[in-house]
Structure 1
Amino acid sequence: MHIMFVCTGNICRSPMGELLLTRYLRGTSIRVSSAGTKGLAMHAIDPSARRIMDSIGIDSSGFRSRRLTRSMVQAADLVLCFEQEQRKSIVTLVPTAVRYTFLLGDFANMCEYCAQRGLIKGTTIQERLQSVVAQSSMVRPMLPDSQDIEDPHKQEFEKYHAAADATNAGIRRILTSMRKHYQVEHAPERRLMGSGRSTLLS
């Protein structure tokens, strides 16, 4: 299974999503990547996003951005984005991707809904995630819209912190919903640099 995060520039939100989910899914065969609808190729992760990743022990030095292409979308099994406009851009590029492209918050809501009602099927995390994707056209209309995760680019560090926390919260809600056959990895609790409050990245 291939999960791809998509934001605008592929230097702030989607790299953090890729790196966080890769950490959580370590030891599985799921591939995680990211790209940007207006991304410029081969840019390093934003320094503030790198600072957050460094603070929780994730090395982002090798990350380089990519601009989203049709073939990237077609190669993914699940695309998670951060704003409604990004989803529109993805579906415009590849209309059939409407079946497997969601806002991160919307997909987290669907996973929780399906888990609470015993609708998730499969024995591996890949099968269980794909079962939610398969039911999305039925489940999505029953749930409220989620909010966009704001782009923190060129804003104060607290905006990056908020985007990282919201991204991590969405990822953990998804993985918690898969827990019948999968246990989310737990790491020692840490604090994000530049903030006095406890991080969700634990």
Structure 2
Amino acid sequence: MHIMFVCTGNICRSPMGELLMTHYLSGTTVQVSSAGTRGLPMHPIDPSSGRLMQSVGIESSGFRSRRLTRQMADNADLILCFEKQQRKDIVTLAPAAVRYTFLLNDFANMCDYCARNGMIAGKTIQERLQSVIKRSSMIRPLIPLPMDIADPHGREFDHFRIAAEQTNMAIRKILKSMRKHYVVAPAPVRSQIVA
């Protein structure tokens, strides 16, 4: 399974999503990547996002951003983005991706709903995530409206911390929902992302 995080520039939010999810899923066969709808190819992670990752023991100096292409979107199994406009941009670029492209918070709420209602099927994390994707159109009306995770680019460090905490919380909610046959890796160093 290939999970892709997508934001706008692929230097602030989606790199943190990629690096956190990669940490939590280490030791599995799940592939995690990221890109930006207006990605800045080969640009390093924003220093504030890098600082937050460093604060929890995740190395980010080798990260380089990419611009999302239709082929990337078509090759993903699950795309998690941060704003409603990004979802529109992704499905305009790759119409078939509409079935597996979600706002991060929205997908986290779907996973939580499915877990609480015994709707997750499968033994592997891949099968369990796919079971939520398959049920997504049915459960969408039953959960809270999706919320954006605001872009911290060009803003004070606290905005990066908020985006990182919201991203981490959503990822952990997804993985906790998958946990019946799967153990979530421990949180990096501290349970909350702080610097």
Range into which the TM-score falls when normalised by the shorter chain: over 0.9
Q: 1:135 is matched with which residue?
A: 135
Q: C-alpha distance in 2, partners of 1:140/1:78?
A: 16
Counterpart check, 1:22 vs 2:22: yes
Q: Please state how far the C-alpha of 1:66 moved relative to its aligned partner.
A: 0.2
Please state if 1:189 is matched with 2:183.
no
Letter of the aligned partner of 2:154 in structure 1?
Answer: K
What is the match of residue 2 of structure 1?
Answer: 2
Figure out how many residues of one structure are paired with residues of the other and give that number.
193
Structure 2 CA distance for aligned equivalents of residues 55 and 6 of structure 1: 23
Distance (Å, rounded) in 2 between the aligned partners of 1:86 and 1:113: 24
Q: Match for residue 172 of structure 1? A: 172
Q: What secondary structure, in the 3-state scheme, does the structure 2 residue paired with 1:180 have?
A: helix
Cα separation, 1, equivalents of 2:143 and 2:48: 33
| Aligned-partner residue type, residue 158 of structure 1 | D
User: 2:130 and 2:101 mapped to 1: Cα distance?
Assistant: 12
* Amino acid of the structure 2 residue aligned with 1:44: P
Aligned pairs (5 A) from 1:143-154: 143-154=143-154
Single out whichever of 130-139 and 24-33 deviates more from structure 2. 130-139
Shift of 1:146: 2.1
Map Cα deviations across residues 45-102 of structure 1 (whole Å, 9 max, x no partner). 0000000001111000110000000000000000000000000000111111110000
Partner of residue 12, structure 2: 12
CA RMSD of aligned residues (A): 1.0
Q: Distance in 2 between matches of 1:111 and 1:86?
A: 21
Which amino acid in 2 is paired with 1:134?
A: K
CA shift, 1:189, in A, is 2.4
Q: How does 1:102-117 map to 2 (within 5 A)?
A: 102-117=102-117
Distance 2:147 2:89 in 1: 17
**Aligned-residue offset at 1:9:** 0.2
Query: For residues 13 and 153 of structure 2, what CA distance do their matches in structure 1 show?
Result: 9
- Alpha-carbon distance in 2 for matches of 1:153, 1:36: 13
Structure-2-length-normalised TM-score: 0.97
Aligned to 1:196: none
Q: CA deviation at 1:44?
A: 0.2
Structure 1 length normalisation: TM-score? 0.93
Q: List alignment gaps of at least 5 residues for structure 1.
A: 194-202
- 2:40 is matched with which residue? 40
Moved over 4 A (4+): none
User: Using the alignment, how far apart are the partners of 1:123 and 1:154 within structure 2?
Assistant: 43
Counterpart of 1:93 in structure 2 is 93
Structure 2 letter corresponding to 1:122 = G
The 2-side partners of 1:146 and 1:101 are apart by 13
Classify the secondary structure of the residue corresponding to 1:123.
coil
State how far apart, in whole Å, the 1-side matches of 2:67 and 2:177 are: 31
